Amino acid sequence: MSGSPILVLIASDPRTSHRAFEAMRIGVGVVAGENQVTFVLTDGAVHLLDDDTDELVDGDDIAKFRASLRQLGVPFHVEASAIPDASDWNADKHPVVPVSREDIADLMRHARSFIVF
């Protein structure tokens, strides 16, 4: 993996939309293609890391793809102000990098391309 990363920015809420999982699925495909990928979760997309995936649209698939990313050591950059206080959030301890809106803007400046959902 070389060069600037591809940024996958997900804001869609997986509790109400298929779009959050689709973004994750596409991002995993990009990672599998030997590309450096940065996943950024904002707003309701932070629920992609909810422990109880039964409440999520495509919950079973989300759990599988999340596990694949964890196994590959790919962290989620999560908007710090959107991180829930719930004790069951990110219960499987997926690597998380809390970021501010300014940090997200900086990640975007250094990306070579974007996938935005």
**Could you give all domains of the chain from N- to C-terminal order, each with its CATH number?**
6-116 (3.40.1260.10)
- pLDDT tens digit string along 4-37? 899 999 999 999 999 999 999 999 888 877 788 9
> Rounded to two decimals, what is the model's pTM?
0.92
d(CA 1, CA 10): 22
CB 71 within 8 A of CB 62: no
| 113-116 β-sheet, strand order | 96-99, 76-79, 37-41, 6-10, 113-116
- Please name which of 5, 21, 3, 102 lies closest in space to residue 57, comparing C-alpha atoms: 21
* Terminal-to-terminal C-alpha distance of the chain: 24
Q: List pLDDT tens digits, range 37-82.
A: 999 999 999 999 999 899 999 999 999 999 989 988 899 999 999 9
Residue 103: left (phi > 0), alpha (psi -120 to 50), or beta? Answer: alpha
